[in-house]
Amino acid sequence: MPFRTSRRVRAISLLAATAAVGSVTLNSPAQALIGDTVAANTYTFTAKIQIGDGDTARACTGTLVNNQWLLTAASCFADDPAQSETVTAGPPKLKSVATIGRTDLTTTAGQVRDITQLVPREDRDLVLAKLATPVSGPSFLHPAATAPAAGEALKGTGYGRTGDTWVPDSLHAGDFTVGAVDTTNVSIDGAPVCKGDTGAPVFREKNGRPELVAIASRSWQGGCLGSEETRTGAVASRVDDIRAWITESTASTLNVWNLQMLTKTSTGLYHAMRNSNGDWTSFANVETVAGPVDDIQFAADAAIKGKNYVFAVGGDGHLYQANRRVTGGWAAFRDLTAELGDKPGLTRIAVTSTGTGLALVGLANGRVYHATQDASEVWSKWGDVTAKLGVLGNATQVTVAHTSGGQTQVGVAADGKAYQGIRASDGTWSSSWTRVHDLGTGLTSAVNGLSFASVAGDLQVVITSVTGEKKHAIRKADGTWSKFGDLGDELGRDTTVGVDATVVNGELQAAVVTTDGKIKHTVRHADGKWDATEQVVGYPGTPGTVAVTGSSQ
């Protein structure tokens, strides 16, 4: 990979930087002269940064760590990068522009943003750069939680000079081997780190997901066009130990909205949150804070004004409810049988906010049931939806959303098909099930997952099939449907065992559980653009279900 430092970096700067790393192997022979051009729409977390204009302009590379912040090298913005890494917090002195997600610079792909604020890290060559407005589409590269180890294989991406090109038109990638590691820096050797690669991400691939280990800082530039140097060693600034600093320093762009995620895994029931910047909290064991439920089979959640309601179907077939308060404390699980009525054979549930209360749907012995909770948290008894709309054979999944006009939209997957029923605000039901699969889903195999979400009063639908197909459509408030679009690029093409969707701050967020035990997530923004697929990590065990809801707090 053609990593390059900013255009004025000299060997003396590298020597100063490597003194802190100890026995950096800067005398190793070059292992690669140039990196490989990456495939289109890969490593879209990499940004090309231009600082200044005209003949004095300099180029660097950066890393998108959330939707409005880049992490790059402070030396990129220094008055003289060859002599100092010191940068003053605040707006950059020179006009600075970042291009994110454009792997081929001859195209108009990706997004371009001005850099409006710098937050430097004092103990290493690092700076956070705030974008003028959030970006959508490119993936984020989250910091690693573990330090690099000597001999570890890492990868990097950058827009710097190659072995034969002064200003490449495309993003390149290369491989590195870790040398010495100290408290703030890591030495790497392998592909050349050339001019323009300062600030580039150095990352590991872990369980199919990249995680940021370090940010490129200084190099010998061996193998780079215009350099007679043969040494390819470089120094990069560690990020695994400053995750809290990154979160705190970027908090200024947070809004009050969070995604709440609940997953039932092979080891328990776990909960995490994704904030508006795109950063995730750790997964915590719900039963540790809300009490145990014997042999949880399925779980769902919904939120009202920041209060998160968690429901779990126990091994005894009873439904239990716990609450996560806005303050973060939990009310213990309680058995809802006395309030809702006994429902033997209960296997699946779905729940949604109605604005002041909750709408709950359950699947028991092939029949669909519905109940409501009012603003004072009093439950109605289970009502038999199947008796009103008709029997559906081999029902396996249920979903629910509350849309414009106070309608409760109920979805069911049965006999490999998708169905929809509507409960009006006055409590009456539609005359029968609507066969969603007759609306041209484009699926070529049986439905195995269905999720409804209300976005701006419309019903948004995500459907999955047994062969890994994923489709999306919108039902407008007037009852008309959009065409179904393919979500393979947004949620992956893996086969899945679970799906859920919700609205967070006016945007659709969807998640799936793959058959090989991964949770993948994406966001559909108000303008119809989707974010890149994100693989969620940090939950103990192997997930079997996922539930998501949005809350403000």
Residue 19: both structure tokens together? 């003194």
CA 543 to chain centre: 17
Q: 528 — phi, psi (to 5°)?
A: 90, -5
Residue-level pLDDT, tens digit, the chain, 553 residues: 444 344 333 332 333 333 333 323 222 222 222 457 888 889 999 999 999 988 788 999 999 999 999 999 999 999 877 667 789 999 999 999 999 999 999 999 999 999 999 999 999 999 999 999 999 999 999 999 999 999 999 999 999 887 677 788 889 999 999 999 999 999 999 888 888 899 999 999 988 889 999 999 998 887 888 887 878 889 999 999 999 999 999 999 999 999 999 999 999 999 999 999 999 999 999 999 999 999 999 999 999 988 999 999 999 999 999 999 888 899 999 999 999 999 999 999 999 999 999 999 999 999 999 999 999 999 999 999 999 999 999 999 999 999 999 999 999 999 999 999 999 999 999 999 999 999 999 999 999 999 999 999 999 999 999 999 999 999 999 999 999 999 998 999 999 999 999 999 999 999 999 999 999 999 999 999 999 999 999 999 999 999 999 998 6
End-to-end CA distance of the chain: 43
Query: What is the rounded distance in angstroms from the CA atom of residue 379 to the CA atom of residue 371?
Result: 7
Indicate the DSSP class of residue 226.
Answer: T
Contacts of 427 (CB under 8 A, 6+ apart): none
Give the C-alpha separation, 140 to 252, whole Å.
18
Q: For residues 534 and 140, is the Cβ–Cβ distance under 8 A?
A: yes
Strands 58-66 and 46-51: antiparallel
**Which residues are registered as beta bridge partners of 248?**
none
What pLDDT does residue 108 have?
Answer: 93
Alpha helices for 125-209 (secondary structure H): none
Give which of 321, 549, 544 is closest to 449, Cα–Cα: 544
Comparing C-alpha atoms, which of 318, 332, 317, 347 is closest to residue 286? 332
Q: What is the pLDDT of residue 79?
A: 86
Lookup: tokens for 420: 């929809």
Report all structural domains of the chain as residue ranges with CATH numbers, in order of start: 11-248 (2.40.10.120), 254-552 (2.120.10.80)
Coil/strand/helix, residue 388: helix
Q: Side chain identity at 39, as an amino acid letter? A: A
The two tokens of residue 307 are 């209060």
Instruction: Note the pLDDT of residue 35.
Output: 59
| b (16+ CB within 10 A) / e for 94-132 | eebbbbbbbbebeeebbbbbebebbbbbeebbbbbbbbe
Tell me what pLDDT residue 28 has.
28
